[in-house]
């Protein structure tokens, strides 16, 4: 799960998907990163921590890291929150296999629409909506993968 800073959106996506994966008894590796390096080593934004906590998910021990080319090799699927993240990750792809691992996360819940998870960093009221978008997308992702 990849956003810009790895402190607002992608930590929520990581926490939500990890929670759903664990509740289904699956042993999948789920991680998140940011395309930018400004917040490397920092915990998630306190507003992301708070909204996750409201839904019973603790993301406070996550620490931001920067996306690296190796992630497109190591992981089976890589999800970007918005078109900017998508285009930055795409530059790291070395072949079509790696490119095919990449998609926008909201294409799971709104197939083919290329919708964006809005960046809530400058909007205190945006975090709840981001949580709901990511919760639906992660549910749709699991439904798709488990029915495949």
Write out the catalytic residue numbers: 3, 9, 119
Q: Which is nearer to ligand 4NP, 8 or 137 (CB)?
A: 8
Smallest distance from the beta carbon of 13 to ligand 4NP, in angstroms? 9
Q: Which is nearer to ligand 4NP, 79 or 97 (CB)?
A: 79
Q: Which is nearer to ligand 4NP, 24 or 53 (CB)?
A: 53
80 sits in the region (left: phi over 0; alpha: psi -120 to 50; else beta) called: beta
- What Rg do the C-alpha atoms of the chain give, in angstroms? 14
- In sequence order, the β-bridge partners of residue 66 are 34
Q: Which helix or strand (DSSP H or E) is residue 82 part of?
A: none
Smallest distance from the beta carbon of 66 to ligand 4NP, in angstroms? 12
**For binding to ligand 4NP (CB under 6 A), which residues are involved?**
3-9, 34, 38, 119, 121
Smallest distance from the beta carbon of 77 to ligand 4NP, in angstroms? 19
Task: Select from 95, 7, 20 the least CA-distant residue to 56.
Answer: 20
8 A C-beta contact, residue 15 and residue 63: no
């Amino acid at each position: 799960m990849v956003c810009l800073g790895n402190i607002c959106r992608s930590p929520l996506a990581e926490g939500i998907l990890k929670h759903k994966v664990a509740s289904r008894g699956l042993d999948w590796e789920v991680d998140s990163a940011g395309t930018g390096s400004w917040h490397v080593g920092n915990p998630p934004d306190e507003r992301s921590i708070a909204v996750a906590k409201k839904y019973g998910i603790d993301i406070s021990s996550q620490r931001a890291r920067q996306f690296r080319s190796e992630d497109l090799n190591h992981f089976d699927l890589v999800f970007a929150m918005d078109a900017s993240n998508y285009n930055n990750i795409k530059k790291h792809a070395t072949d079509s296999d790696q490119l095919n691992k990449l998609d926008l996360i909201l294409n799971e819940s709104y197939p083919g629409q290329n919708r964006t998870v809005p960046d809530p960093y400058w909007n205190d009221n945006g975090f709840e909506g981001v949580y709901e978008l990511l919760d639906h997308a992660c549910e749709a992702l699991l439904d798709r993968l488990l029915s495949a």
